[in-house]
Structure 1
Amino acid sequence: MAGAALLPLALVTPAWGQTAAASAPETPGTLCAAAGTLHGSHGEQAQVSLCADSGSPRLNITAPAVCQGAAAKVQYVCRTEGTWEVHRAGKSLGTGSLPGSRLYAGPGAYEISATVRVRSVPAGVDLTGKVRATVPLTAPLTKATHVVTADNPVLRRNATTTVTYTIRRDSDQGDGNARLGMIGEEKSGVQIRSADRRCVNPLVGRYPANTRLAHALDCTVTELQPGHPEKIKVRVTVGAKCSTVVSKLGYWVPQGQSMYTGAMLEGPKLTCR
């Protein structure tokens, strides 16, 4: 099966004498670039684009395709799946499955490469290959409304470490509610506890099971205000096997009765040695 023929992203030069208009605030949108054409042995092909969202806290990556099979009169619908990797200024920003997302890192040229499988409905096209494209994103990096820090980011083997997480809301957007979750490596034996009544180890299993995950902890705060951070003290016990502990903060930004508001924020990662 032949590999993808890479298609360059065209650049448009402005006409002489044209006056550039004052740039308006950028609204959220999706930018797509031709990424390559996959060819089959019986004349079938798939033209793949790589797309990235602009203007939101997350960078969403998709790979739509247009299919053409051996039967020229058949109109095909394409399904794409696979994996992606993103670089900016020579630095890898992450990898994932298609479709996928990561935190937006600010304006710049995002070099996106993907290994994709394209299948059609009805059947007739089933192609796999590698494609790549550069997508220039100009939306400014959104200022964080919330911040999470930890005062003791290093855990020790065969020891219990006390860590204080500080949650701040630095914006008038949102309200006083937020939920901080922490989780260690499941089979490491790490235990995360807190005497704070706002925190609980997650309950798992069907009712009336009362099993709780010792390696995870959820804490809910309700009095978070600009100028009034919340602090949560936890105790992390590590045995002979080291474990990292990652955290994330979930919060809601009320916008009338809109359903999908707020965000998830990556918190500090505790390392172990």
Structure 2
Amino acid sequence: MPTRSTTFRALAGAALLPLALVTPACAQSTAAPASAAPAPETPGTLCAPAGTLRGSHGEQAQVSLCADTGSPRLNITAPATCRGTDAKVQYVCRTEGSWEVHRAGKSLGTGSLPGSRLYAGPGEYDISATVHVKSVPAGVDLKGTVRATVSLTAPMAKATHVVSADNTVLRRNSTTTVTYTIHRNSDEGDGNARLGMIGEEGTGVQIRSADHRCVNPLVGRYPSKTRLANSLDCTVTELQPGHPEKLRVRVTLGAKCSTVVSKLGYWVPQGQSMYTGAMLEGPKLTCR
């Protein structure tokens, strides 16, 4: 199926416009001073036609693949417009399935629809999706694979927080000490952050720390005292630019290998807005 390419330009206070409607400036226009910085790109959503699924009785679903870059994450959806056998009925589509994103021939990730991954910066993204489209009322039930290429121009947001580890290799039948360092590089936000680490279930991996800011999470109903040995949560409250926080952790492996992944959650207040926090992927510990 042919791949369509669309370029993303978010226009402040306006809807996304096809490129064909954008005309060059007229000759009388005065060029902007060379020193003028370009206006920041506002958040927006780009949708590209990705394919049409057809049934044996004339029903069809026109599927688009959409991406937006209004946050550190690239959000991917696959809306569809349905047409059934009854021309008098207005069908509403529901799309489910999975997606995969490639850039320069390299896979950036896969997931379920709708889904997201970390935004990798400006460039061309090849998106494919295996979709199942069903309509309400019933009449359209189609499956297939669709593809589109979108060119995203939004710059990557500067990282406000960074997490590093001084040792990323674990070994069987041993205990490895790992020091995580959390940096806050932005004046925005506050000194609170939470670093979570988790190993693979069923491997016997144990993650511990003598730091009073760290605890193995409690599971089960009250009054259960059971805690997850393969997971550790650490909360810091004095994280400032120029003052990183360090967390010393011990990871014990038996005969089975386990990786340990981590992520940092932090709060960036914006008045009383609710959804202003973010999650940052931390170092991944591998096993030999």
Per the alignment, residue 4 of structure 2 pairs with 8
1:179-218 map, 5 Å = 179-218=194-233
2:110 is paired with a residue of what secondary structure?
A: strand
Among candidates 261, 273, 277, match of residue 246 of structure 1:
261
Among candidates 201, 219, 228, match of residue 243 of structure 2:
228
Q: CA deviation at 1:136?
A: 1.0
Aligned Cα root-mean-square deviation (Å): 1.7
Per the alignment, residue 257 of structure 1 pairs with 272
With structure 1 as the length reference, what TM-score do the two structures score? 0.95
The answer on whether the counterparts of 2:3 and 2:149 sit within 8 Å (CA) in structure 1 is no
Residues 30-84 of structure 1 show CA distances to partners (whole Å, capped at 9, x for unaligned) of 0000000000000000000000002310000000000000001100000000000
Per the alignment, residue 126 of structure 2 pairs with 111
The answer on whether the counterparts of 1:55 and 1:140 sit within 8 Å (CA) in structure 2 is no
1:92-107 map, 5 Å = 92-107=107-122
Q: CA deviation at 1:12?
A: 3.6
Per the alignment, residue 42 of structure 1 pairs with 57
User: CA distance change for structure 1 residues 123 and 14 in 2, over 3 Å: closer, same or farther?
Assistant: closer
With structure 2 as the length reference, what TM-score do the two structures score? 0.90
Number of equivalences = 269
Amino acid paired to 2:165: A
Identity of aligned residues (%): 82
The answer on whether the counterparts of 1:6 and 1:131 sit within 8 Å (CA) in structure 2 is no
Q: Which runs of 5+ in 2 are unaligned?
A: 7-18, 33-37
Among candidates 257, 266, 272, match of residue 281 of structure 2:
266
User: CA distance change for structure 1 residues 81 and 229 in 2, over 3 Å: closer, same or farther?
Assistant: same
Q: CA deviation at 1:262?
A: 1.7
More strand by share: 1
The answer on whether the counterparts of 1:6 and 1:37 sit within 8 Å (CA) in structure 2 is no
4+ aligned runs moved over 6 Å, structure 1:
19-22
Q: CA deviation at 1:8?
A: 3.0
Q: Which runs of 5+ in 1 are unaligned?
A: none
Among candidates 134, 145, 159, match of residue 130 of structure 1:
145
